Structure 1
Amino acid sequence: MPRLAIDKDFLGQYANLEKKIRGAVDAALDKFADTYHAGGHLEKVANARDPRWRTLRITLGYRGVVLAPEDGDTYLLVAVLPHDDAYAYCRRRRSSVNLALGVLEFRDEEQLETLGTALEPIAAGSSSRLFDGVSDKHLSQLGIDAETLRIVRLLPDEAHLDALSPMLPSAQHNALVALASGMSVEEAWAEICKDLAEEVPEEPVDPDDLATAIRRTPQRAIFVEGPEELREMLDHPFDVWRTFLHPRQKRIAYRDSYAGPAMVTGGAGTGKTVTAVHRVAHLAARWDAGSGPEKPILLTTFTKTLDAALRSQTDLLITDSGQRALIDVRNLDKIAHQVVRGDLGKNPNFPHPRKLAALWDEAGADIGLPGRFLLEEWEHVVLAQDLHTERDYLQARRRGRGGRLGAEQRRAVWRAVLAATTRMRRENQWTFTQLASEAAAILERTGERLYRHIVVDESQDLHPAKWRLVRALAPEGADDLFIAGDPHQRIYDHQVSLASVGVNVRGRSRRLTLSYRSTQEILSWAVRFLGTARVEGLDGTEDRLDRYSSPLRGRRPVVQGFSSRQEELSHLVAAVSAWLEEGVEPGSIGIAARTDALARQVTGALAERSIGTSDLTSDNGVRVGTMHSMKGLEFRCVAVIGADSEHLPYLPHVTDADEDPVAHAHDLQRERNLAFVACTRARDHLLVSYTGSPSPFLPK
């Protein structure tokens, strides 16, 4: 019986095919999977770089590209392409098995030959080359084969090594990057081994054993166990893509146990959320049903939009009803509300922002300070540090707050804060930050612990008060907290050191560096939104994106400017219509705007063309929302509208530089992060548009 494996990248290609072509693919693969002599359906490719390439007829105009052994029964479907592109693919690329690691590799030999020819005169004129200090023996030990070695010996600098990334086998390129960064051979070996699905084989690697190489390379391929599993995979290709786990992520998610809080960080699309959800699945699978609370596992985040997305992803991954019943997926505001309501015996009220602003303006009138300043001082200093007395406030650090306050000014501010919060208590008015602080205090006072395990996604945006709540929800111990986040995606001004809120992840922190969502083209463009400001991680150290990259290749983002908003909206509607005609599911299209008002204009423009929409919490149409609401979501196609100087930065939400220069700088960086977050939700296509003057943050 033939064994069929599907290349993970094919799932993305399949989802992009026209419906008619997808139907033909289904029929061809059904026939392939049901046939004992599968090789009979495959055609050899004349002049192929690798004699194992075959094509599978899909239609007159399309072919499947299949890697097939000379003998044996394992087949890998790599791509479905137009006829001529499929044959060109086979004539350019070659597969191999890494003799050091045992993993399956692909390389673009045609481009490598062209680059080698171009490098020869450059190398001849150079007095030194990048890897002069590394012997052939050591390079071979790291899996660099003879074909790659010829190119390696010509490389003059790291820029040329970077250019090799899309052409070379990823494991070999990673080894070379490690050496170029200054690592020793031993350190480079450890670096490339950390992402392996299996231990490095002790016995010599068989370069012709395709089945074993595929098994050792699950980040490239998934074995399909029968027609039913194949059908399920092709019915939901984007869902499979969303829950796919790579070896590095798998080792983090399925580690048997952590001695205490553990953390995984990484840039957009590196799989932090999918790792977190798989960690939940691991905890549920090993839970002893005879002990602990009814729902011992909490998967949480900070917004209801993410709440819905996490619930959907959990439902996709965990199909056992008994295990799913162990998991509570709720955002922290809902949990805080439950705790405080139970203690007060009544529901907390949340006033409209304008009413709250008026209350704080009244409190600040007597001391000549704006209510906004006082409210932010309360949330970012008083609630953040859990201050209860004037003396505490006088001694507190005002990190991230500009405008130095003397002792008398601080006393006046404290009195104003006390007056405002006393009135809020009397009128049962709350903010969500205050609610979290109160809920944490209640749990600490009662000693009640609602969960045994807590998994937190998008943790970089939690206020310190919410971190205290997280810490109070579960008893300290093994596997108590599992934290996923990225400080470069911080869209709220809540910078916190985990140690300061009683969460110690020292020795249990892992970093992911490969983005499996966005293409390198989208990633390289979007990361320039972030600017050059230093970013502090959750562990208090600088967090950098210097090794952040994507193995995926695709189209560059499309950026267009318009003279009027109506013209911009018309172009957006045309782009969305084209995506839908190409077979993109409506729920896989996301449109982000900086403000609710602009998002409503988008919804109206699409409605005029009878294109159904939904908010970002459901997928019953093209999904439209604010940049803030895009957090943690992913789409095949994303349009970011209104990337102009009017909306980005959005000045009503930026502190005036004269009022507080430190807060002003933080607010501008938050706006940069917000744009980066919105753009990196895209997997295949990114459209960015603006009216009038472009945003000063927009990459040139």
Structure 2
Amino acid sequence: MTAGASQDVEARRARALAEQYLALARQQQRIVRRHEAGSAGERRIGALLQPMSAYGWTLLADRRWPGTRAANVDLLHVGPGGVLVLDVKNWREVHVEGGRLWRGQEDAHDDVDKVARIAELAEQSVAEIGLAPLEVVPILVFAGESFDPLTLGRVTAMGEKQLVPWINRRGERLTAEKLPAVLAVLERDFPPHEDAGPVVLSPVVVPPVLPLPEPAEVPEQQALFSAVELEDSLLEGALAAPIEDWMAFLHPGQAKLVRQVRNGPARVRGPAGTGKTVIGLHRAAYLATTRPGKLLYVSFVRTLPTVLSATFARLAPQHVDRVEFCGVHAWARRFLDARGVRHRVDFTAADTCFWRSWASVGRYSALAEVPVPVTYWQEEIASVIKGRGLTDFSEYADLTRVGRSTPLNRAQREAVWRLHTAYDVLLRSRGLHDAADLLVLALAEVRRRPLEDPYAAVLVDEVQDLSRVGVQLLHALGGDGPDGLLLIGDGQQAVYPGGFTLSEAGITVRGRSTVLETNYRNASRIIETAVAVVASDAFADLDDSLEEGARRMEVARDGGVTVRIDAPDARSLDAALVAAVGDLAAAGTSLGDCALLTATTTDASRYAGVLHRAGVPLVPLEEYAGQTCGRVKVGTIKRAKGLEFKHVFLPGLREGGSAVKAGESETAWRERLEVERRELYVGMTRARDGLWLGFLL
């Protein structure tokens, strides 16, 4: 390249860009002249936005409001930042007071409601092509004014001078592939107003150093992507992103579920990988934009709320202060502290109290005749008695013990109750509570005095792992009003003993339950391998009926990699694990998209040591906060519930599950193995693209 050549190129590029702007300005002047009879404010904002066509934006001006003859929509601005529904006002003395919009001394909040209603109509249009409701944004823009954006429910109000910078900060929310389909449905449902002149659309972006090409004639039937092609292109882009971005990906086929109105408690359920949690996240974001008040997103799993909070912050940063993500026990603890209710939870001390109660009351009782490990009775007290909030033996005497297959006669149930009573008395004598007590205390306090500032909605993830008391607590917080309570989960992924039904908890979701059947997460080979583990196990899903383990499911993605290693000893398995992780890294896979999961914390610690000694960077799941990093996540399967990874390693497995324990009956052993298989299924279905299974012979 000769001297000065690079400067010449830059000069040519700048000149060409200037010519584009001049051309766009001349074009806008023509549009302004054609709309001289229109609103000066609309013309002013239209002129401001029209040059953005060079960056992929299309301005639809003066459109007809669907369902009306005369009402109009000022501007629809469609581009990489989403669908902006703009109502232009040429007002002065604008301010917000008491959460309402005022024009001088006049309450002007009807205009806020108007633009919100138009946005809802736009949402309905774009939902049919799978666009999430969050990408439709209602805006009140005030011509000639300058003030920072204000939030009025789901509507954003701002001055003219802040509009373009605000749009630019939104970044890319819609791909170039999706924009034609979005424009098509909006042009169909929001046609030009009868009095509107032709609108010039310039959505083509060209390099500034080249002349603008003449648009090619494209037959109408070929102008748009098909729905399948659009879905495929969106899915491909999401798959290429880090796993943390994937966890916020809402498949187009599920967009309508996010904005459904339900007139009472509702439920979303379905097999692993069907997008239950991501629907919950988008639902929380949608509710945050459409109604006042705070929302609670809660789960039994302690890791999940932290990760989902970070995911939500990327999904809807403007609403992070509206949604509280929390574990159910952490919420109960904070609530009791705020109310001054005394509680002291000490797991080690509580465990000691149980064993002392067993030695004094249980060991020589009728329970000694039942061939189960002593820990079975500890689980019985926690999940069946305290988990259901039982306080009188008559409630327990004839109870259907959902999820417990070892039968108990009356004498044995009386012995369980005496053990429970002795344990409870010992706890109280020491000023202690266990985890189940925490929820019982919180429920009693909420019923005694409901929240002064109630939640607008409560969303419950992994609901199948909660106790009846836990669900009753959250029901008391969310109530029976429209969209007040959403339960998300899958009984096939229950990894704790015991259970209950929603009818027991006093919750009805009849007519408001959605069953998902399409797996978007797991590639076909992975989900086939996982389902085979639980296919023969019928399960209860918070109701009185049993479902077959091999459920109806469609799989959106073919392929995937499953690897099984059968190692003769621990050293051989360790070497195979290190080699597999190394091979993935060498192939270009980010280690931050991988996880090593085990059934116990002891195994997690052991295999973390194996990888650490091999120089593999790690992050424990209890420290993982949902941020993209280059380290393998390590932890238990229970801590990984609700999370997703591109590749999962499950070392230390044994064919057929764990062995029979001393004194354990075959019935009790099979009950325990069923829970183990469900847990293994959960671990396997965390894997999106690759699954590595390491068995010890």
Match of 1:438 in 2: 441
What is aligned with 2:298? 300
The aligned counterpart of 1:349 is 345
1:365 aligns with 2:363: yes
Check conservation: 1:457, 1:485, Cα contact below 8 A. Answer: yes
Output the TM-score relative to the length of structure 2.
0.63
Partner of 1:427: 430
2:604–2:636: 8 Å Cα contact kept in structure 1?
yes
Q: Is the 8 A contact 1:498 1:504 kept in 2?
A: yes
**For residue 337 of structure 1, what is the aligned residue in structure 2?**
333
Query: 5 Å matches for 1:213-612?
Result: 213-214=225-226, 218-222=230-234, 236-255=241-260, 257-288=261-292, 292=293, 296-320=294-318, 323-343=319-339, 345-352=341-348, 354-362=351-359, 363-367=361-365, 369=367, 371-402=374-405, 404-448=407-451, 450-544=454-548, 545-612=550-617
- For the residue of structure 1 that corresponds to 2:305, the secondary structure is helix
Provide Cα deviations, 1:595-622, integer angstroms capped at 9, x if missing partner: 2222222111211222111112416521
Specify whether residues 403 and 456 from structure 1 end up closer, same or farther in structure 2 by C-alpha distance, changes over 3 A only.
closer
Q: Go from structure 1 to structure 2 and tell me whether the alpha carbon gap of 1:494 and 1:310 turns closer, same or farther (over 3 Å shift).
A: farther
Deviating more after overlay: 392-401 vs 565-574: 392-401
Amino acid across the alignment from 1:552: R
Amino acid at match of 1:488: Q
1:235-287 Cα offsets, whole Å, 9 max, x none, are: 945444332212332111122x2101111111111111100100000011112
Q: 1:670–1:306: structure 2 CA closer, same or farther, 3 Å change rule?
A: same
Cα gap change, 1:207 to 1:375, in 2 (>3 Å): farther
Q: Deviation per CA, 1:387-416, whole angstroms, max 9, x where unpaired?
A: 222333334334444554444444343233
Q: Tell me the distance in 1 between the aligned counterparts of 2:343 and 2:672.
A: 33
Q: Quick check: 1:489–1:676 contact (8 Å CA) kept in 2? A: yes
Q: Which residue of 2 aligns with 1:627?
A: 637
Change (3 A) 1:447 1:682: same
> Quick check: 1:254–1:282 contact (8 Å CA) kept in 2?
yes
Aligned match for 1:671, one of 670, 676, 682:
676
Alignment gaps of 5+ in structure 2: 1-16, 18-127, 131-183, 190-217, 369-373
- Distance in 1 (CA, whole Å) between partners of 2:244 and 2:543 is 33
What do the CA deviations read for 1:109-129 (whole angstroms, capped 9, x no partner)? xxxxxxxxxxxxxxxxxxxxx
Structure 1 residues 355 and 315: alpha-carbon distance in aligned structure 2, compared to 1, 3 A threshold: same
Looking at structure 1, the residues matched to 403 and 558 of structure 2 have their Cα atoms a distance apart, in angstroms, of 39
Q: 1:433 Cα shift?
A: 2.0
**Partner in structure 2 of residue 649 of structure 1:** 657
- Distance in 2 of aligned mates of 1:457 and 1:586: 27
> Partner of 1:557: helix, strand, or coil?
strand
Instruction: Decide whether aligned partners of structure 1 residues 460 and 397 sit closer, same or farther in structure 2, where only a CA change above 3 A counts.
Output: closer
Assess if the C-alpha contact under 8 Å between 2:502 and 2:543 holds in 1: yes
1:447 CA displacement:
2.8
Q: Distance in 1 between matches of 2:425 and 2:345?
A: 15
* Distance in 1 (alpha carbons) for counterparts of 2:648 and 2:536: 25
Give CA deviations for 1:154-199 in whole Å, capped at 9, x if unaligned.
xxxxxxxxxxxxxxxxxxxxxxxxxxxxxxxxxxxxxxxxxxx989
| TM value normalised by structure 1 | 0.63
CA deviations over 1:301-345 (Å, ceiling 9, x no partner): 10211122222221221121xx21010000101012123344554
Identity of aligned residues (%): 27
Distance 2:392 2:587 in 1: 62
8 Å contact kept, 2:404–2:497:
no
Measured against aligned partners, the alpha-carbon deviations of 1:365-396 in whole angstroms (never above 9, x if no partner) come to 35253653432332233224322223333343
Question: The residue matched to 1:561 in structure 2 has which SS?
Answer: strand
Higher radius of gyration, 1 or 2: 2
Aligned-partner Cα distance in 2 for 1:495–1:248 = 32
1 CA distance for matches of 2:297 and 2:222?
39
* Residue 560 of structure 1: how far off its partner (Å): 1.2
Report if aligned partners of 1:103, 1:213 keep a CA contact under 8 Å in 2. Answer: no
| Correspondence for 1:688 | 693
Query: Which residue of 2 is the match for residue 131 of structure 1?
Result: none
Consecutive unaligned residues of structure 1, counting only runs of 5 or more, are: 1-33, 35-101, 105-196, 225-229, 693-700
| Contact 1:464 1:494 survives alignment (8 Å) | no
User: How far apart in 1 are the matches of 2:396 and 2:499?
Assistant: 19
Change (3 A) 1:248 1:425: farther
Partner residue, 1:638: 648
SS in 2 for 1:579: helix
- Specify the SS of the correspondent of 2:329: helix
Q: Do the aligned partners of 1:265 and 1:510 also contact (CA within 8 Å) in 2?
A: yes
Letter in 2 for 1:666: E
Alpha-carbon distance change, 505 to 222 in structure 1, aligned in 2, over 3 angstroms: same
Q: How far apart, in 2, do the equivalents of 1:223 and 1:378 lie?
A: 46
One-letter amino acid matched to 1:633: L
- Check whether the contact 2:597–2:649 (CA below 8 A) recurs between aligned residues: yes
Partners of 2:430 and 2:494 in 1: CA distance: 33
Paired position in structure 2 for 1:108? none
Q: Is the CA contact (8 Å cut-off) linking 1:103 and 1:214 kept in structure 2?
A: no
Alpha-carbon distance in 2 for matches of 1:268, 1:624: 21
**Corresponding letter in the other structure for 2:463:** S
- Over 3 Å counting, the alpha-carbon distance change for 1:655 and 1:300 in structure 2 is farther
Letter in 1 for 2:231: Q
Determine if contact 1:284/1:324 at 8 Å carries over to the other structure: no
The 1:634/1:542 distance shift into structure 2, 3 A limit, reads same
The aligned amino acid for 1:337 is R
Quote the RMSD (CA, aligned, Å): 3.4
8 Å contact 2:303–2:621 — kept in the other structure?
Answer: yes
CA contact (8 A) 1:589 1:636 kept: yes
- Residue identity opposite 2:321 in structure 1: A
Q: CA deviation at 1:422?
A: 1.3
Tell me the distance in 1 between the aligned counterparts of 2:363 and 2:257: 53
Task: Identify if the C-alpha distance between structure 1 residues 207 and 331 changes in structure 2 by more than 3 Å, giving closer, same or farther.
Answer: farther
- Compared CA separation, residues 487 and 413, structure 1 to 2 (3 A): closer
Q: Count residues in correspondence.
A: 478
| Structure 1 residues 490-509: Cα deviation after superposition (integer angstroms, max 9, x where no partner) | 11124221121022111011
TM-aligned CA distance change 1:358 to 1:504, over 3 Å: same
What is the deviation of 1:541? 3.3
How far apart in 1 are the matches of 2:511 and 2:431?
43
Listed one character per residue, the Cα deviations across residues 648-694 of structure 1 (whole Å, up to 9, x for unaligned) are 62458x79642xx55433321111111111111111111111122xx
